[in-house]
Every structure is written in C-alpha cells, then in structure tokens.
Amino acid sequence: MINVGIIGATGYTGAELVRLLGRHPQAKLVGLTSRTYRGEPYWRVYPHLNDYVDLDCEELDLVQLVSRTDVVFTALPHGHSMDVAREVLRQGKKLVDLGADFRLRQSRVYEQWYGVTHTATELLNEAVYGLPELYRESITEARLVANPGCYPTASILALAPLLCKGLVYQNSIIVDAKSGVSGAGRQFSLKGHFAETNENFQAYNVAAHRHTPEIEQELSLLAGAELLINFTPHLVPMTRGILATVYVNLKNYFDREELYTVFAEFYRDEPFVRVLPPGVLPQTKAVAGSNHCDIGIVSDSRTNRAIILSAIDNLVKGASGQAIQNMNLLFGLDETTGLMYPGLYP
C-alpha cells in the first residue's frame, strides 16, 4: 500500500483527494492536515464521507507527517508548498503539488504573475509538469510533480494535437473558458455568495488571469516557438465543471472529419481523453465527478478556423483526479487505478 498524506485536506481539492483516495485499492490515507479544522473528525467537515474516512484533521507537523508517508499531496494556496517540497524530498519521499508553486519553469514569471518571491528555485528544473497525456515518461521518473491548473488542463488538451502537427497559426489562439464556482475554492468571499452568483454569468481577470503564463508555457513547448494567447475566464452559476472553447486559425482547410481524425489518432491510447464523433459536442454534466476530458471539434469553412471544445470536472481531471493519476505513475501502477468511474448524471 502507498501511505498518503494530504496537506490542506479541507479545501475542495483536498476533499476530492480524500474522496477518491478513500476508494483507491493501493492507497492508504495516514494524515490529513487542516489549520481551520484541526482536531475535528474529517467527516464532520465533509459529511458525505462519513463511514469512508476514519481520520481526524491534524495540525501540520511537517517532519513527522512526511516520515509516515510515501507520497504527500499539497493542496495549498500559492507560496506555501516550497518549504514542504524541500522536506519531502529531503526525506526521500514524493510530492504532488496541486498549487502553482512549481508549474512555471522561470521564477521571474512566477513572481510577476503571483506576486510572491520563489524561495525554492533550485527545485524548478526538477519539477515535472503533471499532464500525463504529454509527460507520462517523465512523471514516472519524478520526485516532484507540479499538478496542472484546471483551465490549463482543459486548454492544453484542446490544442495539443494541432500544435504538435503544426496545423495552426500559433499567435491566433483564443481560449474562452467557463468554470463552476468551486474553482474559486472554499474560502468565504463576496464573489462566491449565492446572491452574487445565482443567475449571473460574468467574466473575470480578463487578460490577467494567473493561468495564462502556464498555458502559454506549455503551448510554446508543443509548438517549438514562443507564443501568446488571449485567455478569458468566466464564472457560471454551477458547482463543478469547465467548458473551454478554443478558436484557432488553420494554415490549411480541414473538414470536421479530418480534424476528428487528427485528434482521435493523437489521443488513441489515452484512457481519460474522449474525442467525440463529428457533430457531437462536450458538456460539463457528462464529465462531472469523473477524470475524463471530453473534446469536440468543429471546422468553420467560412473563416477557416477550427473551434475546439473541451470539458472537464475542475476538481477531478482539473485537480485531484489528475493528481492521483500522477501518483499512480510515480509508483508504477496502471494510471487508471482508482479513477475509472463514469461521471454523475444528471
């Protein structure tokens, strides 16, 4: 069994880790930390896990927690995983960080977008970006995995086949993405208040969202050249899900069947990416609660653009499910272990 500790276990991504790992046949939860709920039985924080998790929330004793584990998941705000990473690696254990501290390869870019000094720059070159569909082999050899953000996961999976094959004009990319309110986390804020979000559809952080450099970094690596994108996120009044609509200018015309073939071949062996048949478009409800990414493709002959739609559950494939997929790879398991479940519908 893999002994697992979770630091920051009572946020939404932490709760999804607990829910999924509680059913994982090769994982054992040995420590759940929380500053807010220390001493509380975990099920009192999340009643749906009553009888599934028999642990209390504990205050973080980093050295002691790491000594009990084989792998640590950090589900913390940016700026809080750097010291944790040092201690985990010092003790010879593995870390999957669900925060942003190790996603960006240049500390200068991290500090520019997050406003925090990076204090573990020596680990940036070692950290592996945890998108298994692109970096599977590197993940299996890693000690430190930087789990991707939710918007980047949906956006990169939507664009990877076209960029890898050089089929699009690189600086024509527009990503228009909508997310449920759980993406903002569990902390109390006016933005998450029911009266503010119900029957409301709003853009936020236009041209300034912190996931922008992460998306650009990974797309540039795929394209072999530095590129910039327009990225606009929106908040919609639902709990879970991201639907990203991506627009790109094609170098040559492809009809929808040809585009479907490009995507179907690229993701042929991927267990969690479902390329939908021509004429079928993804919807968030079809992936809610699952680790799947559904992709639909449209060819607009009038403008010679491809329109790619990508749907994920922001808390599963966009966070905790993907983190467990990475854990499986780190420990030589089939990456679908504990994750091959359909979405919840309706």
Tell me the CATH number at 257: 3.30.360.10
Distant-in-sequence, close-in-space partners of 283: CB < 8 Å, separation ≥ 6: 243, 294, 311
Does any domain span residue 159? yes
The secondary element (H helix, E strand) that includes residue 110 is helix 107-114
Q: What is the DSSP string of 200-260?
A: --EE-STTT-TTHHHHHHHHHHHHTS----EEEEEE-SSSS-EEEEEEEEBSS---HHHHH
Q: Which residues contact 9 (CB under 8 A, 6 or more apart)?
A: 15, 17, 18, 32, 33, 34, 42, 57, 75
Q: Is 57 a catalytic residue?
A: no
Quick one: 107 and 178 in the same domain?
no
User: Residue 193 domain-assigned?
Assistant: yes
Q: What is the pTM of this model?
A: 0.97
Look at residue 185 in the predicted model and tell me its pLDDT. Answer: 77
pLDDT of residue 183: 83
Inter-residue contact 248 to 159 (CB < 8 Å): yes
Is 41 domain-assigned? yes
Interatomic CA distance for residues 302 and 98, integer angstroms = 41
- Residues 156 and 298 both lie in one domain: yes
- Structural domain ending residue among the three candidates 79, 111, 126: 126
206 and 280 housed in the same domain: yes
Q: Name which of 342, 340, 274, 331 is nearest 1 in CA terms.
A: 331
| Same domain assignment for residues 103 and 172 | no
Q: Identify the CA nearest to 15 among candidates 27, 275, 44, 1.
A: 44
Answer whether 297's CB lies under 8 Å from 260's CB.
yes
Amino acid identity, residue 275? V
Give the whole-angstrom CA distance, residue 17 versus residue 153: 17
Q: Is residue 341 part of a domain?
A: no
Same domain, 193 and 93: no
**Residue 85's domain spans which residues?**
2-126
Residue 205 resides in a domain: yes
Give a yes or no: residue 336 inside a domain: no
Does residue 282 share a domain with residue 220?
A: yes
Q: Give the three-state DSSP class for 131.
A: coil
* CATH number of the structural domain spanning residue 31: 3.40.50.720
Count the Cβ atoms, other than its own, within 10 Å of residue 202.
12
Give the burial string for 60-80 (b: 16+ CB within 10 Å, else e): bebeebbeebbbbbbbbebbb
Fill in the DSSP letter of residue 147. Answer: P
Distance CA 216, CA 179 (A): 19
Residue 6, number of CB atoms within 10 A of its CB: 31
> Does residue 159 share a domain with residue 70?
no
Written as one string, the DSSP assignment of 255-309 is -HHHHHHHHHHHTTT-TTEEEPPTT----GGGTTTSS-EEEEEEEETTTTEEEEE
Choose one of 77, 109, 126: the last residue of a domain.
Answer: 126
pLDDT given for residue 188 in this prediction = 66
Does 101 share its domain with 201?
A: no
Looking at the 3D structure of the chain, how many domains does it have? Answer: 2
Considering the domain architecture, whether residues 292 and 185 belong to the same structural domain is answered as yes
Q: Are residues 119 and 198 in the same domain?
A: no
Rounded average pLDDT per 10-residue block, the chain, 346 residues: 99 98 98 97 97 96 98 97 97 98 98 98 98 99 99 99 97 97 79 85 96 99 97 97 98 96 99 98 98 98 97 99 99 99 90
Same-domain pairing of 10 and 48: yes
Identify any residues that bridge with 56 across adjacent strands, giving them in sequence order: 41
Determine, yes or no, domain membership for 17.
Answer: yes
Give yes or no: residues 165 and 307 share one domain.
yes
Which two structure tokens, joined as six digits, stand for 276? 């939908």
pLDDT number for residue 145: 99
In a domain? residue 323: no
